[in-house]
Amino acid sequence: MQKYITKQEVQQLQNENRVVRLIDIRTVAEHEKQHIPGAVNIPADQLPEKLDVLKKDDMIVCICNYGKERSQQAAELLQNAGFENTFYLEGGTAGWCDEDKA
């Protein structure tokens, strides 16, 4: 099972100038409707053929709507492809963006 990372942990790493690649694995339409600033949209069904745009030593955080199955499966796919530092975002886009509104 993949490990999750929280919004606060991501922001702390970014504040420390660590490179964190945010990969929004939702559809283009979902991404256009609402997304986390700085997240790159690579839909889950395209991820296997786009692995070459990612670096194996990057920290990669997969993002879906709620941080459930889709982002966990994407992070697992990356790990199985040799990406060792992969996570999924707890709460997904909804959790991240809802916190920003509070």
**Residue 65: how many CB atoms within 10 A of its CB?**
16
What pTM was estimated for this model as a whole? 0.93
**Residue 74: how many CB atoms within 10 A of its CB?**
26
Digit-coded pLDDT (tens) for 5-33 = 999 999 999 999 999 999 999 999 999 99
Digit-coded pLDDT (tens) for 36-81 = 999 999 999 999 999 999 999 999 999 999 998 999 999 999 999 9
User: What is the average pLDDT value for the chain, to the nearest integer?
Assistant: 93
Q: Are 2 and 86 in contact (CB under 8 A)?
A: yes
- For the four alpha carbons of 85, 86, 91 and 93, in that order, the dihedral sign comes to positive
